[in-house]
Structure 1
Amino acid sequence: MATYRDVAIVLRTHKLGETDRIITMLARGRGKVRAVAKGVRRTKSRFGSRLEPGMLVDLQCYEGRSLDTVTQAELIAPYGDFIARDYAAYTASAAMLETADRLAEEGQAVIQQFNLLAGGLAALAGQAHSPGLILDSYLLRAVAIAGWAPSFESCAGCGAPGPHRAFNLASGGAVCSSCRTPGSGAPRPETFTLLSALLTADWPVADASAPEVRREATGLVAAYVQWHLERGVRSLRLVDRSETV
């Protein structure tokens, strides 16, 4: 069988038998990969902890009919190890990995999604910003790469220049008074500013935001992402948002 090598981020793992695991990964070149790591649950496994969620690895596998098999995994960056030491970062990373897993099913823009996830995990591991802000920025940019870019300035319905006061999920973000439909929200102007900063990675603006603005933005981000994914991201319910209290 053919072998291949790629750089991958571990998204999740499942037990298989007594000593093996199925590893689901986002690979930079091949997209979503599911492979068996044999003996990984043994104490003396040659893979050690390199195939845990959040780890960035240099991977070698050989192709199988339904599942590939991991033959080698060299650690590039132990993001998962650093993130696991902080509960807020850990819960944020779980939501990021689940979202990446879901978006990888679409099979589009693999390299961009891989680079975005790697950058987000690096920011969490390095405590570059609040975990909640990193998560919300990742979520907005991930769905934008997938083709569902929100608008927080111009009207998502007719394109009229903003700022606007209403927000509508189905329309794709901010809407003017003419395009506003029943059920639209009316976030603070500062919330639109924060959302725009998160989408464009304008960190000085995002870092300076007030807790109440972050809370409102978080609710809109979660609703927007889950609207487009058409089913909930379960990990979002467990995210520690204590920094916004």
Structure 2
Amino acid sequence: MKTYRDEAIVLRTHKLGEADRILTLLTRHHGQSRAVAKGVRRTSSRFGGRLEPFNHIDVQLYRGRNLDTVTQVESIHPYSDALARDFDKYTRAAVMAETALKLTDDDVDAGPQQFLLLLGALHALATGRISGQLVMDSYLLRAFAVAGWAPSFFDCAVCGASGPHRSFHVGAGGAVCDTCRPPGSASPDPKAMELLGSLLSGDWQEAEDSSARVRGEASGLVAAFVQWNMERRLRSLSLIRHFPEGS
């Protein structure tokens, strides 16, 4: 069918011409979609505000050869309103959206899981019930696990020897035992490794009991792990380092 309808999260937008906008959407059932929203930059647009980054929408699209076209859109959760008012939250949402953009490119099958994971993370970030730092780091670890790069923070990622282990190496996949420990491995605080395990499993009670120092160390390991496996820099992640939570 030429027309289809789906839930979607707006990952990115680009200006097109004088009044149009190109959107990159992560849909629930159709994977990643690039679409043109015509006339949305005009003040008279009926749904321009609904198509801001991070919004959760119900959208109808018309399939095109290179780009689809937005024909209808309804707002479900306008997360952009809350996130745009807080620079820390906005930059963390940008990191998550950029990650989802790269992990779901040309992978329709990853759509449903990645969609629900991002939706839950944006909701937690926008409502502020959980630390934004914890939300972002948990999202990153779980998104990579869904994509096939699940790190280990207890057993050895190389030989499987039962942990806990004191060393961590991003290239090896996480925790490593003394036998498998590659040169250049980090020796993080055991509490940071415990926190990483809690973030990967979604154990928020354990995660929220962690100290700011432990969270900072764990967050650095997450950033290193993500960029190693992505094989490229996440541009938005560099902003987090300059504006840490609570600054």
Q: Smaller-chain TM-score range?
A: over 0.9
Q: Which residue of 2 aligns with 1:241?
A: 244
Distance 1:96 1:196, change over 3 A: same
Distance (Å, rounded) in 2 between the aligned partners of 1:71 and 1:165: 54
Q: Which residue of 2 aligns with 1:228?
A: 229
1:208 offset after TM fit, Å?
1.0
Q: Which residue of 2 aligns with 1:129?
A: 130
1:14 offset after TM fit, Å?
0.2
Distance (Å, rounded) in 2 between the aligned partners of 1:242 and 1:223: 18
134-143 vs 107-116, greater mean Cα deviation: 107-116
Superposed, which structure 2 residues align to 1:140-155 within 5 Å? Answer: 140-155=141-156
Distance (Å, rounded) in 1 between the aligned partners of 2:203 and 2:89: 20
Does structure 1 conserve the Cα–Cα contact (< 8 Å) formed by 2:117 and 2:139? yes
Superposed, which structure 2 residues align to 1:81-230 within 5 Å? Answer: 81-107=81-107, 108-230=109-231
Q: Which amino acid aligns with 2:244?
A: R
1:48 offset after TM fit, Å?
2.8
SS at 1:46 equivalent: coil
1:110 offset after TM fit, Å?
1.3
Distance (Å, rounded) in 2 between the aligned partners of 1:91 and 1:101: 15
Distance (Å, rounded) in 1 between the aligned partners of 2:159 and 2:190: 20
Q: Which amino acid aligns with 1:241?
A: P
1:170 offset after TM fit, Å?
1.1
201-210 vs 142-151, greater mean Cα deviation: 201-210
1:106 offset after TM fit, Å?
4.9
Unaligned runs of 5+ in 2: none
Distance (Å, rounded) in 1 between the aligned partners of 2:28 and 2:151: 25
Off by >4 Å, runs of 4+ in structure 1 = none
SS at 1:90 equivalent: helix
Does structure 1 conserve the Cα–Cα contact (< 8 Å) formed by 2:56 and 2:76? yes
Distance (Å, rounded) in 2 between the aligned partners of 1:55 and 1:134: 17
- Normalising by structure 2, what TM-score? 0.97
SS at 1:13 equivalent: strand
Alpha-carbon RMSD across the aligned residues, in angstroms, is 1.0
1:124 offset after TM fit, Å?
0.6
SS at 1:148 equivalent: coil
Task: Provide the identity percentage.
Answer: 59
Q: Which residue of 2 aligns with 1:34?
A: 34
Q: Which residue of 1 aligns with 2:61?
A: 61
SS at 1:4 equivalent: strand
1:242 offset after TM fit, Å?
2.8
1:85 offset after TM fit, Å?
1.7
Q: Which amino acid aligns with 2:7?
A: V
1:233 offset after TM fit, Å?
0.7
SS at 1:82 equivalent: helix
Q: Which residue of 2 aligns with 1:23?
A: 23
Distance (Å, rounded) in 1 between the aligned partners of 2:147 and 2:228: 13
1:82 offset after TM fit, Å?
1.3
Distance 1:173 1:106, change over 3 A: farther
